[in-house]
Structure 1
Amino acid sequence: MNEKQNANVFMTCKDYSVSGEDFQLLYDSNNDMLFTSPKPKDQDLGKYYESEDYISHTDAKRSVFEKLYHLVKVYSLKKKVTLISKLNNGPGKLLDIGAGTGDFLVTAKSRNWLVFGTEPNDQARKLAKEKKMNLDSETKDYKDATFDVITMWHVLEHVPDLQSQIKELKRLLKPNGHLIIAVPNYKSYDAQFYKSFWAAYDVPRHLWHFSKKSIQKLFANEKFNLESVLPMKFDSFYVSLLSEKYKTGKMNFLKAFSVGLRSNLEGNRTKEFSSHIYVLKKK
């Protein structure tokens, strides 16, 4: 994929979490997606994750927001494991890429899945180890066609080399195995409402910003079938809370709830939710 070809400036966004730097979102008309520009060099990416507020790398419950996040997380983890168990007709061999502090794998293991996971962040891996979950830093040592299910929960948007990652997913997955991808949707109502303040742009940590068309097209190139698209309805509230903070300097719970609810209602009509789960099957 030639990132610059057929690309126009869609929007300018700020990194509100760490650096305060501005980045452009460029529109790739070939794939109906956005990408962050300039893309940080691989060796520089790590510094943009150096924040105590980067919630997927911590188990902190310091604020009301973090406590609510973790309450919803427990419910969501059970729903995610139910989804993969249904797709696979029971437990099997699972790989979670970008496993964070390991909670999804802990939940899956409790339901008899044979679990493996990768996580590049040292601190997150350390927290996972405290839960008796040993994570690898990368996937290169796993054998071909090893896993029944591979999951990437809000991870694909962080991957520097998108095409190589999709090829690697194809290599690791068994024939007829399922791939579960969860990513934000820049065509949702909350994205349109908050514009450059939309927290799910999260530049430059989010390098890619997907639509349903882009996911289908990118994975079809590697012989994956898109079987279904599922909404992540809690995400509209979480993202709206953060977006309010970026826009106004404080978390306006009532306003964020109102926007999140409106986003889900609009999503019921347009099928464009704040985030989507894509269920793909290897041919």
Structure 2
Amino acid sequence: MNKKIDFYKDLQPFLACKDYTVSKEIYELKKNVEFDMLVTVPVPRNLGDYYKSEDYISHTDSKKSLLDKVYQSVKNITLKRKLKLINSFKTSSKNILDVGAGTGDFLKVCKNNSWNVNGTEPSLEARNIASIKGVLLKENLSAYKNVKFDVITLWHVLEHVENLEEYISTLNNLLAEDGRLIIAVPNYKSYDAIYYKEFWAAFDVPRHLWHFSQTSISKLFSLENMTVEKTLPMKFDAYYVSLLSDKYMSGKMNPIKSFYRGFLSNLKAKRTKEYSSLIYILKKK
């Protein structure tokens, strides 16, 4: 990327959303038409403070609430699927980098299956939990210089990145020539996103700075001469996100209604391919 892109230029109004996790503040979602992407406005200066909550489950191994238990149960299933995905790639050195590794569960599974694991995680609390599991994480990508990885994964991380353009360039530089970059992000064009509108839990303002569509990902990474090789659904996300969205909408859990809404979202996505969350497998052109 030679010319720096201003993603905040010529934005169109889209939706106002509330931060249900920490501050209860209202944020605007505005549309960048060129990239078919939504942008959270404004970005708080003290963004790190908005992650300081017991409800921010990816930084803990909590099993206190119903949501916690659902999240942890589904996590065990998705870990096996993630491992199967990366094992499908033919690599010589099996070097993997997991960006935003949380409490290290994915890398632990990789390590137990003969991968050479590396990872980053900005949260000190999460890094400490990962270290107890035998997974040592760096704070950020600047720790990796002149290193190439066969596989780089970002499981629901790209939407949190502040310097998006620079970050994508860094990922490209860290990826081996025949490597694969795996990006998993929410999809604001899914049925559950359209149904829940401002209550859609995957908007998660202001922690989610960007809200991607399939066009967004394709256009952003093409600027770094990368292409989407394959797109895969994350079907469990529709159920979990619906459960949380119903809580935001009505103030209480409604598992039966949420399950139906998640099921309907996945059913409609069979035709539209617009699942609640999508996994993009990218490679260099």
Please state which band the TM-score falls in when normalised by the shorter chain: over 0.9
Shift of 1:225: 1.4
Shift of 1:87: 2.0
Q: Contact (CA 8 Å) 1:6, 1:30: kept in 2 or not?
A: no
1:262 to 258, 261, 264: 264
1: CA distance, partners of 2:41 / 2:67 = 30
Partner SS for 1:84 = helix
Q: Deviations over 1:97-127 (max 9, x none)?
A: 0000000000011110000000000110010
Q: Contact (CA 8 Å) 2:37, 2:212: kept in 1 or not?
A: yes
Alignment of 1:118-133 (within 5 A): 118-133=120-135
2:117 to 115, 118, 122: 115
1:191 to 180, 190, 193: 193
Q: Contact (CA 8 Å) 1:56, 1:101: kept in 2 or not?
A: yes
2:221 is matched with 219
Alignment of 1:1-283 (within 5 A): 1-41=5-45, 44-88=46-90, 92-283=94-285
Which residues of structure 1 form unaligned runs of 5+?
Answer: none
Task: Give 4+ residue runs of structure 1 displaced > 4 Å after superposition.
Answer: none
Shift of 1:90: 7.5
What letter is aligned with 1:48?
Y
Aligned length: 281
Shift of 1:145: 4.7
2: CA distance, partners of 1:242 / 1:273 = 17
What letter is aligned with 2:17?
C
Q: Contact (CA 8 Å) 2:100, 2:120: kept in 1 or not?
A: yes
What letter is aligned with 1:217?
K
Partner SS for 1:140 = helix
2: CA distance, partners of 1:225 / 1:145 = 22
Q: Contact (CA 8 Å) 1:237, 1:259: kept in 2 or not?
A: yes
Which TM-score applies when normalising by structure 1?
Answer: 0.97
Shift of 1:89: 5.1
2: CA distance, partners of 1:66 / 1:31 = 34
Which TM-score applies when normalising by structure 2?
Answer: 0.96
2: CA distance, partners of 1:153 / 1:269 = 25
What letter is aligned with 1:38?
P
Shift of 1:6: 2.5
